[in-house]
Amino acid sequence: MELSTMQTLRTYIDGELKGNLTYSQLAKIAPFAEDRKILMSMAEDELKHANMFKNIYLKMFGRNYSPDITVEPISGDYYNNLREMVMDEGNDFRTYAHEYMNTRNEMLRNAYATAAVDENVHADRLLMLLSKEGEKPKSEENSDEKVHML
Ligand SMILES: [Fe+2]
Ligand SMILES: [Fe+2]
């Protein structure tokens, strides 16, 4: 069954807000300061995507959609959580790219293109973070210094 644009946008807004909360949580348990920064910027991207879809929703349907989204606290290993997110991001990239190719509405097309590109970058960043699995974090002080030097 094909979902209406209204339902579709609601689903994407919910998912983006969940992504925002999940990355914010992962940032808190990241073992390296620079990885925290990367995860926080990904959380910001997801919030931007949610707001982008919310604006379109308002323009198209003349009302706000502001769901109260919560996520379960992160459980299990940090790196296992990252691995799950890689799969999600890859799927989101594919979904948004597919929407982009099948949508005529200019406003929606731009949003889908932006989200698709970002989700692909996220998958890439997650793989980079995963490549550090097994590395020992330096003392908190040192990692923070490193960030300041960037
Ligand atoms: Fe997103
Ligand atoms: Fe993402």
Q: Which two tokens stand for residue 60?
A: 């198209």
Query: Taking the CB of residue 51, how many other CB atoms lie within 10 A of it?
Result: 14
pLDDT at 16: 98
Q: Is 145 helix (H, G, I), strand (E, B) or coil?
A: helix
How many CA atoms does the CB half-sphere of 84 hold within 13 Å? 12
Which ligand is closest to the CA of 89, given by its number? Answer: 2
CA of 29 to the centre of ligand 2 (A): 18
- Structural domains present in the chain: 5-133 (1.20.1260.10)
Amino acid identity of residue 8, one-letter, is: T
pLDDT at 106: 97
Instruction: Compute CA distances 130 → 6, 34, 48, 133, 134, whole Å.
Output: 36, 13, 24, 5, 9
The pLDDT averaged over each successive group of 10 residues in the chain (150 residues) is 86 98 97 97 98 98 97 95 96 98 97 98 98 83 52
Q: Which two tokens stand for residue 137?
A: 């974090």
CA of 119 to the centre of ligand 2 (A): 4
pLDDT at 137: 78
pLDDT at 52: 98
pTM score, whole prediction: 0.89
pLDDT at 3: 74
Burial of 150 (0-12, 13-18, 19+ CB in 10 A): exposed
CA of 128 to the centre of ligand 2 (A): 14
CA of 69 to the centre of ligand 1 (A): 15
CA of 4 to the centre of ligand 2 (A): 23
Which ligand is closest to the CA of 42, given by its number? Answer: 2
pLDDT at 148: 56
Distance from C-alpha of 145 to C-alpha of 95, rounded to nearest angstrom: 39
DSSP 2: P
CA of 122 to the centre of ligand 2 (A): 5
Q: Which two tokens stand for residue 107?
A: 């406003």
Is residue 53 within 8 A of residue 90, CB to CB? The reply is: no
Residue whose structure tokens are 């002080």? 141
CA of 53 to the centre of ligand 2 (A): 14
Which ligand is closest to the CA of 23, given by its number? Answer: 2
Is residue 45 within 8 A of residue 15, CB to CB? The reply is: no
